[in-house]
Amino acid sequence: MPLKTIFQRLALTGVWSQQVALAAAALGLGFGLLPIAIFFIGATALGRYEGASLPRLYDSIFDGLMQGSIASWAVVLGPYALCLLFQVLRLWWRIGSPQPKRG
């Protein structure tokens, strides 16, 4: 289902409301799902090490946020930064594409 259809069903027709909804979803993904994915993919690829657990990873990430760790902020803000990057690239693509000739 296209993103516009989802926004219309949620009655998010304004540009600002769409951006706020996108930011909330991306931050939710960064806070909730990304640490889980990091833990399980890391455990599968590298194996578990002594003392590793999912709650400990969350504690590490949230402690890093409090201390200003770049790695923790990258995990949490990464999905939103990726959304912004795609928007900028799409805008750049539209600006750089040749306009069809009329006539």
> How far does CA 74 lie from the centroid of its chain?
10
Q: How confident is the model at residue 6 (pLDDT cuts 50, 70, 90)?
A: low
Four-residue CA torsion sign, 11, 15, 17, 23? positive
Which letter does DSSP use for residue 1 in this model?
-
Where do the structural domains in the chain lie, given as residue ranges? 3-96
pLDDT per position as a tens digit, 71-90: 999 999 999 999 999 989 98
The pLDDT assigned to 27 comes to 92
68: left (phi over 0), alpha (psi -120 to 50) or beta: left
Closest to 39 in 3D by CA, of 26, 58, 23, 22? 58
This prediction's pTM = 0.70
The residue type found at 87 is: Q
Q: How far apart are CA 97 and CA 75, in angstroms?
A: 33
pLDDT digits (tens, 9 = 90+) for 36-83: 999 999 989 988 888 889 999 999 999 999 999 999 999 999 999 999
